[in-house]
Amino acid sequence: MARIFIFSGPSGAGKSTIISELKQRLPNLWFSVSCTTRKPRDGEENGTDYHFITQAEFDEMINADGFLEYDPHLGASYGTPAKPLEKALADGFDAILDIETTGAANVLKKIPEAVTVFIWPGSFELLEERLRGREGNKMSEEQIASRLEKARKELDEIGFYRYTVINNILDRAVAECEAIIREERLK
Ligand code: 5GP
């Protein structure tokens, strides 16, 4: 039976890097490409990292009941398209969703058996360093501050997650996430 893995954790925790490593190490993993109204960062590709769409297109998707979940945060709208996920699961793939804590709670209401993993960077200092050092990313002080504030709120939700992975050493974090997926696949 195909599974859903929800990866949450603050923007800057390293979720995307971990997920792209996992896709290389494990067969049959499918990444859910979210829709967002935020602007692409340098190096991000439309259709691969996100579907970058307008607010009007996003609203159309909502009206057409096209999202499994959606949530406005950090000054933009983000949502998980339902159809591609259903197809991937029907085709026998395990799906990975990279979504924040509100979205994760909404998915769990619909799909309680989804496996939740919280990725935490280790400390707020490390998180701030990563947000500031992000390649191709010229975040304003305000954007950094809002991400740190959201991170504090998200950390309050850590207890609701089935697994926690600390990403202060990338290789170890990837190995732990790989172990989680392998273990869940054996159940
Ligand atoms: P970023 O703008 O840094 O790519 O992502 C900001 C936050 O939005 C991250 O915590 C990420 O997990 C979350 N996010 C990305 N896609 C979705 C989505 O489809 N739904 C929800 N609820 N959150 C998302």
Backbone φ and ψ for 5, nearest 5 degrees, come out as -110, 125
* Cα Rg, the chain, nearest whole Å: 16
Ligand 1 mutation pick, 36, 78, 97, 153, max ligand atoms within 8 A of CB: 78
pLDDT in tens, the chain (187 residues): 799 999 999 988 999 999 999 999 999 999 999 999 999 988 899 999 999 999 999 999 999 999 999 999 989 999 999 999 999 999 999 999 999 999 999 999 999 999 999 999 999 999 999 888 876 567 889 989 999 999 999 999 999 999 999 999 999 999 999 999 999 999 9
Q: What is the distance between the alpha carbons of residues 94 and 29, in angstroms, rounded to a whole number?
A: 5
Pick the atom of ligand 1 nearest to 98's CA.
Answer: 12
Domain definitions of the chain by residue range:
4-186
SS3 content of the chain, % helix, strand, coil (to 5): 45, 25, 30
- What pLDDT, on the 0 to 100 scale, is given for residue 10? 92
Q: What is the distance between the alpha carbons of residues 73 and 95, in angstroms, rounded to a whole number?
A: 23
> Which residues line ligand 1 at a C-beta cut-off of 6 Å?
11, 34, 38, 69, 71, 74, 78-80, 98-100, 102-103
DSSP state of 116: E
| Sign, Cα dihedral of 77, 115, 2, 181 | positive
User: Does domain 4-186 match CATH 3.40.50.300?
Assistant: yes
Q: Mention every residue, 6+ apart, whose C-beta is less than 8 A from residue 49.
A: 16, 33, 40
DSSP state of 159: G
- What pLDDT, on the 0 to 100 scale, is given for residue 137? 66
Contact (Cβ atoms closer than 8 angstroms) between residue 19 and residue 31: yes
HEC letters along 53-97: CCHHHHHHHHHCCCEEEEEEECCEEEEEEHHHHHHHHHCCCEEEE
- Residue nearest atom 4 in ligand 1 by C-alpha distance: 11
Angle separating helix axes 170-186 and 15-25, nearest 10 degrees: 60
